[in-house]
Amino acid sequence: MLKMASTQCGGGRRGVRVRSSEGVLVTKKPGEGLARGSAEFAAEPVQARRFSKARKARSAATLEDYTEMIADLIAVNGEARTTDIARRLGVAHPTASKTIARLKREGLVTARPYRGIFLTEAGAAMARSASQRHRLVVELLMAVGAPREAAEADAEGIEHYVSAATLQAFEAFLRNLRPRQPG
């Protein structure tokens, strides 16, 4: 892992002190570029786009987790109640209530007092998409040797951040692993 700290370089120009993977501390001057693994340090617009995508994914992750849980509870119990959602997601009841209010504002669920919570069409579509991504990520992690429990836990985070292009690559990789069915 690279450790960085800002420092003064010759001529008053700012630089960055970097500890390489070999443990050597070096100063990189502006324009020299910082290595990340074997790839060059990305240009500002590229990095900004990557971080923006991650922030959007973080914002959507909670909504996706809730819609997925609501769909699962409805499938198993015929209804989804705030108490059950809170327990299953490991959050306090007020936290679940606040997030369900956000889901309502976003048009993803409907709810009436003293009744269950129901997904709208948009909420059901979000839940299906999150569930499909989750299954694919779990399958890939297990294919590369992760134990099921670790794959399930890790997929809870990865599923929200993986791009459509990467998901397609995962699918292609897994298709190539599966034995072909006779004609």
pLDDT digits (tens, 9 = 90+) for 76-122: 999 999 999 999 999 999 999 999 999 999 999 998 778 899 999 99
The least confident of 22-26, 98-102, 118-122, 152-156 is: 22-26
Q: What single string gives the DSSP state of each residue in 29-72?
A: PTTS--EETTEEPPPHHHHHHHHHHHHHHHHHHHHHHHHHHHHH
Burial of 35 (0-12, 13-18, 19+ CB in 10 A): middle
The pLDDT, as a whole number, for residue 107 is 96
How many CB atoms are closer than 10 A to CB 171?
A: 13
**Cα distances (angstroms) measured from residue 144 to each of 115, 139, 164, 167:** 44, 9, 20, 15
What class is the 125-177 domain? mainly alpha
The pLDDT, as a whole number, for residue 47 is 77
Greater confidence (143 vs 9) lies with: 143
Grouping H, G, I as helix, E, B as strand and the rest as coil, residue 109 is strand
Domain range summary for the chain, segments of one domain joined by +: 125-177
